[in-house]
Structure 1
Amino acid sequence: KRPRYSSISDLQPTDDSTGRLDRQHSFRPSARQQDVHALTCADDHRGKSPGSFVDYARASLATKFIPLPAILSRLYDFLFGVCGLSVLHFRRFDLSAQLDYANTSQLNARNFSAGVDLPPLPREPSHGDLKAALGVLGTYSEEFFDPNTRCLVSAAKDFAEELSDYEPWSSSEVKTLAFWFSNIFAAYRR
């Protein structure tokens, strides 16, 4: 009898099923990261190996940002805040971003080692950049996060939209707002 698969990523063999050893830079989250992931993960993706999860997330239509290992590994356990992600890391992967990414040869899309740094944040973000980033994160969250986490991201996006009434926002004010949103997400994770 053939096994039933709930999604296409379930067809990918896990490292355990093939008998292969993890490569040096493969994604190996800690027990704490896996515990947080289990709490914030959408039901459709529960039980997938960490490697299968990030491979699926990298190729998903819901991933509208550059799927760098440093970002995906922190999204795995919703790691925002001072030592983690900023909402501004979710720049839409549009044509401009694709060209920037293609011209950057030092990026390795498969290197999940702990020493991989996050990409730099935009130097002069606008309020539109913040709203767009929260929209991109919202699209990802609809696919990959549980209902409570989706609700939090959606509320952040809605609040950022409401702040449009108070424009113009300076770049430093937008950075402060992004810092605030990121710290709210970090507090939620705790």
Structure 2
Amino acid sequence: MDLVRLQNRPLHKRARYADTDIHELFMTSDADVPTLETRADIHSSMFQVRNAIAHPATLGKNAQAVLEAAQQARHTSFLATPPVLRAAYDLSFGIRGLSLMHFRRFFEGVEVQYTTDAVNMVNFGRSNSHQPAHPPNNIGEIVDAFDILVYFAKGFYNTTVCDFIKTGSEFIVEYAAFARPDASTCTMLVYWINSKLGKFRSLIVASNIQAAALVGREFTRSDGHLMELYQGQQDRRVAAIVASGPTRPAPSTKQHHPREHKTAQASLVPKELLAVLPKQGNKAMCMRYLSKKGCTGPVPGKCFDSNRAHFKPLALPADAKSWIDKHFLGLASDFSDL
């Protein structure tokens, strides 16, 4: 169909590269478009968003020229494939496919072979679709990806967008200073971040960039969506523990010294509660550490139980808070926001 259109198109003066219509860059083939006439609406929203978020120096410029310049820019430290840049052009995060982890740091000297062999770096058309981002292994990778996005945004987006992204980055840096969540929690955290970046875009379409900027206030531990995701994760872990059936510890003939006996008291915590406690590596959070009673470790800063860790979690399960209130006089003032 495209070839027939090409053969029968009216002849015009050949356009220079800089005059190429932005529609040509983002236009899909007929096979990619649903039967409903939605193409114009999609383009309209893309232009609306880009005009609202663009760096002043890029306004009015040819889209492909902007993307190719960004691909080679000094502030681009991630694998700037055409599909990722095309999605970044109008903040297509979240359900639109772009992820914070697409901005993970790219080590050219190590990964250049992957780039040349597996990625088409010159085709900016829709036929070159982006691949899902690799999930983070740890919180440090999320912090680093946010740093890269902030740096990239300075030359690609306006001040309002940069400030919004920086707010998210600062939240993650603060969180990482107090916790080391496991890989599954990090993946959940990236999903939540992507949803906030996507919400920013949707509010530009629905209202304006001033309304979208208010989404930055949602980068908090008490955000409703984050709490729902966290609670869902804990519920799944509890369900997995229950499904595995009851387990009975093997009897021990060893004599317990006072310190060992004290550590064993931790087993009085129901296993369902232990299963939902936030973890730092393979160690569960110490509930005493968060409480007014404090942890009774052998030395300051060391937990009474070698299987527990001292850190401030992203969120505190309701059952854990109830246990702390009942057994340890409630949360200490430093953790009252949990």
Normalised TM-score (structure 1): 0.81
Residue 163 and residue 99 in structure 1: after superposition, are their counterparts in 2 closer, same or farther (change >3 A)? farther
Residue 125 and residue 146 in structure 1: after superposition, are their counterparts in 2 closer, same or farther (change >3 A)? same
**Partner residue, 1:117:** 129
Instruction: Determine if the alignment matches structure 1 residue 72 to structure 2 residue 85.
Output: yes
Q: CA deviation at 1:110?
A: 1.8
Among residues 112, 133, 138, which one is paired with 1:126 in the alignment? 138
- Equivalences for 1:159-170 in 2 at 5 Å? 159-170=171-182
**Partner residue, 2:111:** 97
Q: Distance in 2 between matches of 1:18 and 1:96?
A: 34
Q: Distance in 1 between matches of 2:19 and 2:54?
A: 26
Q: Distance in 1 between matches of 2:195 and 2:172?
A: 15
- Aligned to 2:128, what secondary structure does the other structure show? coil
Identical counterparts, % of pairs: 20
Q: Distance in 1 between matches of 2:182 and 2:55?
A: 36
- Return the letter of the residue paired with 2:121: A
Residue 156 and residue 98 in structure 1: after superposition, are their counterparts in 2 closer, same or farther (change >3 A)? farther
Aligned residues: 171
Q: CA RMSD in A?
A: 2.2
**Partner residue, 2:57:** 44
Q: CA deviation at 1:100?
A: 3.2
- Equivalences for 1:78-89 in 2 at 5 Å? 78-89=91-102
Normalised TM-score (structure 2): 0.47
Instruction: Determine if the alignment matches structure 1 residue 155 to structure 2 residue 167.
Output: yes
Q: CA deviation at 1:18?
A: 5.0
Q: CA deviation at 1:148?
A: 0.9
Residue 38 and residue 16 in structure 1: after superposition, are their counterparts in 2 closer, same or farther (change >3 A)? farther
Q: Which runs of 4+ in 1 moved over 4 A?
A: 18-22
Q: Distance in 2 between matches of 1:31 and 1:124?
A: 34
- Segments of 5+ residues of structure 2 without an aligned counterpart are 1-13, 28-42, 203-338
Of stretches 108-117 and 169-178 in structure 1, the one that deviates more from structure 2 is 108-117
Structure with the bigger RCO (C-alpha within 8 Å, sep 6+) is: 1
Q: Is the 8 A contact 1:79 1:186 kept in 2?
A: yes
- Segments of 5+ residues of structure 1 without an aligned counterpart are 1-14
Q: CA deviation at 1:171?
A: 0.8
Residue 42 and residue 123 in structure 1: after superposition, are their counterparts in 2 closer, same or farther (change >3 A)? closer
Instruction: Determine if the alignment matches structure 1 residue 187 to structure 2 residue 199.
Output: yes
